[in-house]
Structure 1
Amino acid sequence: MSTLTGIDLPLGSPGGSVELLYDLYLGPEAPIDAAVFMLAPDRPRGGAAGGPKLLDVPGKQLDGPSFWSYVDNLATALGSTFDEDSFDAIHLQHLGFGATPALLKAFPEHPRIALVHGTDLLFAADHPTQREVLLRSARLADSIVVPTSAMADLVREMAPVGPDRIVRVPWGIPDRLLSDPPVRGPSARDSFRVLYAGRLTAEKGAAELIAAVSGLPDLTLCIAAPEHEFAALSATVDTAGVEYLGWFDREELWQAFARHDLLVVPSTTLEAFGLVAVEAQACGLPVVYQPVPGLTEVLGDSAARSDARSLADTVRSLQKDDAALADLRAAGSRNAARFPLSATAAELESLASQVRR
């Protein structure tokens, strides 16, 4: 069964939903046959072979009449770019934002499976138009896929969706990472390297992490994040003691995992799944996380738990305890093995066959 899917973000945008899009549908090893679209970036750049179809649709908005004008233009672009007879199902990569209502308008007769990410629900809570989009998309989707039971609970809180239409399918990490992770080098014991990797929006807890551990003796806090987000964070938080690494592509991030001693995931609110943490575990990097919904379900006891108040003590304790780090590495490797991308793809393909009209 062939699929049409996409995200209305410019090519090269960061984020877990974009990484999952690439893993599932793009590139030579993508397990799901799909036509994929994204938006053309503001600055022209060469697209990689097997990359998404880039749509030049300006005017992206979140609220008000201008949002619906943008959706109309995006639907028109989709209808002129993709032949409705060339695919069997639509995968909606969000319940919100512009791509989902545009796909629903452009191709109203195809079966629709919606994949829910945390940003859908966060933006629906803060933007009236996005709440409207979420409610309508939830009503029209044939099945709504969530990666954790915590996400299922939150979807049901926000939209009147029957339990039979919500399906839990855990996200996955590339099988090749599980079978052939990067080789870890010896730790540089003169400096314990702690890594934060990901977006720097407020709910991710990076500011609290910096306050807790930056400046601890014999410890280097490293941050891998989009450059503009690190610059914005530095305008409000003292990052003088932080080693900024830039924003890595996927393979570079995996290599970075192998060069660090600990990954900290200090998110302060629900996480949809926590792909970065699971990928780090696959690379042999121990993880400390704040026990918020989603992360507790995915990581459980395979990683160390710590709230913001005890984070410095937790990190210092692990810094001094090689045996505890070794135990976390072993537990993390076993946990990561539970989430192969091939299993995610197989469940999505099976679900698409069930909802086919």
Structure 2
Amino acid sequence: MLVAPEDLPIPPTRGGSVQIYLSHLCAALAERKHIDITLISPGNVAQSKQYTHTPYRHIVVKGDKKTYWRRVHRFVKAGEPDVVQIDNRPLEALHILEANPHSKVVLNLHSLTFLGPRHIKTEEARTILQKADAVVCNSRNLADTIARRYKLKHNWRRHVIYPGVQSTTDTPALTRGHSTDTMRVLFVGRVIRQKGVHIAIEAIRQQHRQNNVSLTIVGKTHAWEKTYRKQIELDAKGLPIKFVGFVPPHELTELYKKHHLLICPSQKHEAFGLVNIEAMNHGLPVIASKLGGVPEAVGKHGGILVSRYQMPSEFAKAIDKMRDPKRYNKMSKYALRHAQKFTWKKTARKFDHLYRDICPAR
């Protein structure tokens, strides 16, 4: 039984990296015939009826956060699954572990966010990290960071399982003739300060003074970041920058086809940065901040990793370097090959092995 966070529905019609991840993972796990998958996610009655044809059981729960988790507890207790996997909600994983001693509990962490003090007390975090039957991290960096922060040595069951990307037959970016055209740069993610959108805008301003370059910004802004959104829209005035808002995941392919580079100027820890792999999967080299698990995603030659990521000028220089056709084509080819190592089939196989390890009798 896989349990999604309480905030967004699955399928991810309204976005959400964890929701996109779970929709692909469940589909891949369902192809492994010996696993009986049940997914619990929030939603409404219409969504419940619309998504009854998945290759796995999908329970859609209507209600607020408290109602959602109360009903999750009921489903777990009634179903007595061999494994309960909670994605990115360590406090709820702890509650389920305490209430269901006969089920194996897997905590699947996508970031550090919900291990922070706003969401869980330090001792509670240490408890679930030590007592969960498995803690899955989406990068080695995330696992190492958690171990250091909570002083965990050999008393937790850590597993690193990378996410996957859907295979694509799209034309790689290297055939798009960027050397005689405007360098088209793409940003995909939440339009918030910690994602460094302001850094990308200033980098474009610096490049625009001397070269043809444009930036497309894809993503929505949380309510508490509206002031930031207004400021960056002001900063972007007069520049070849376009805000397109939220784009459903299945429509992103068309945007990747129309751009040459992905820029990912994160200003805070990124556990992995799946958007980098998704762009590379379409042949786009990446210019990204060198922090967290991003280097694991980008690899050695899939783009340019910026060490001084607080400085827009460093991203501007990286964009300029990509104007060299030889360098660009080499990175584009590597990006495509590297991204193809990350498949949902491989991810599902590793989860399958993990479930077998913690439930050997099954």
TM class by shorter-chain length? 0.7 to 0.9
Deviation at 1:107, TM superposition (A): 3.8
Contact residue 262 and residue 285 of structure 2 kept, 8 A? yes
Tell me, what secondary structure is at the counterpart of 1:315? helix
Aligned to 2:103: 110
Query: Equivalent of 1:313, from 312, 317, 338?
Result: 317
Aligned to 1:292: 291
Per-residue displacement from partner, 1:106-161 (whole Å, max 9, x unpaired)? 5442111111111xx23433416354553332133101111222111111123354
Aligned to 2:266: 267
Query: Equivalent of 1:165, from 148, 157, 166?
Result: 157
Contact residue 76 and residue 106 of structure 1 kept, 8 A? no
Aligned to 2:39: 36
* Structure 1 residues 184-223: aligned runs within 5 Å: 186-187=176-177, 189-214=180-205, 216=208, 217-223=211-217
Contact residue 182 and residue 283 of structure 1 kept, 8 A? yes
Contact residue 220 and residue 246 of structure 2 kept, 8 A? yes
| Structure 2 counterpart of 1:348, one-letter code | F
Instruction: Confirm whether residue 334 of structure 1 aligns to residue 327 of structure 2.
Output: no
Which residues of structure 1 form unaligned runs of 5+?
61-69
CA RMSD of aligned residues (A): 3.1
Contact residue 184 and residue 213 of structure 2 kept, 8 A? yes
Tell me, what secondary structure is at the counterpart of 1:349? helix
* Counterpart-to-counterpart distance in 2, 1:325 and 1:297: 20
- Of stretches 202-211 and 125-134 in structure 1, the one that deviates more from structure 2 is 125-134
* Structure 1 residues 1-357: aligned runs within 5 Å: 3-11=1-9, 12-26=13-27, 33-40=36-43, 47-48=50-51, 49-50=53-54, 52-58=58-64, 60=65, 70=66, 73-81=67-75, 84-85=78-79, 87-96=81-90, 99-101=92-94, 103-104=96-97, 107-118=100-111, 121-127=112-118, 129=120, 131=122, 133-163=124-154, 165-174=157-166, 176-177=167-168, 180-181=169-170, 186-187=176-177, 189-214=180-205, 216=208, 217-226=211-220, 232-237=227-232, 238-240=235-237, 241=239, 242-302=241-301, 303-306=303-306, 307-308=308-309, 309=311, 310-318=314-322, 320-356=323-359
Contact residue 277 and residue 287 of structure 1 kept, 8 A? yes
* Counterpart-to-counterpart distance in 2, 1:8 and 1:197: 23
Contact residue 10 and residue 41 of structure 1 kept, 8 A? no
Tell me, what secondary structure is at the counterpart of 1:87? coil
Contact residue 39 and residue 56 of structure 1 kept, 8 A? yes
Residue 133 to residue 211, structure 1, CA distance change in 2 (3 Å): farther
Residue 80 to residue 152, structure 1, CA distance change in 2 (3 Å): closer
Tell me, what secondary structure is at the counterpart of 1:53? strand
* Counterpart-to-counterpart distance in 2, 1:149 and 1:233: 32
* Counterpart-to-counterpart distance in 2, 1:34 and 1:339: 22
* Counterpart-to-counterpart distance in 2, 1:209 and 1:43: 39
Per-residue displacement from partner, 1:263-311 (whole Å, max 9, x unpaired)? 0111123221121111111111111111112111232322212233311
* Counterpart-to-counterpart distance in 2, 1:214 and 1:43: 45
Contact residue 113 and residue 141 of structure 1 kept, 8 A? yes
Contact residue 218 and residue 246 of structure 2 kept, 8 A? yes
Residue 46 to residue 228, structure 1, CA distance change in 2 (3 Å): farther
* Counterpart-to-counterpart distance in 1, 2:48 and 2:157: 40
| Structure 2 counterpart of 1:54, one-letter code | V
- Of stretches 73-82 and 248-257 in structure 1, the one that deviates more from structure 2 is 73-82
Contact residue 192 and residue 221 of structure 2 kept, 8 A? no
Contact residue 28 and residue 348 of structure 2 kept, 8 A? no
Tell me, what secondary structure is at the counterpart of 2:187? strand
Residue 203 to residue 234, structure 1, CA distance change in 2 (3 Å): closer
- Of stretches 198-207 and 342-351 in structure 1, the one that deviates more from structure 2 is 198-207
Tell me, what secondary structure is at the counterpart of 2:247? coil
TM-score, with structure 2 as normaliser: 0.81
Deviation at 1:102, TM superposition (A): 5.2
* Counterpart-to-counterpart distance in 2, 1:313 and 1:5: 43
Contact residue 130 and residue 157 of structure 2 kept, 8 A? no
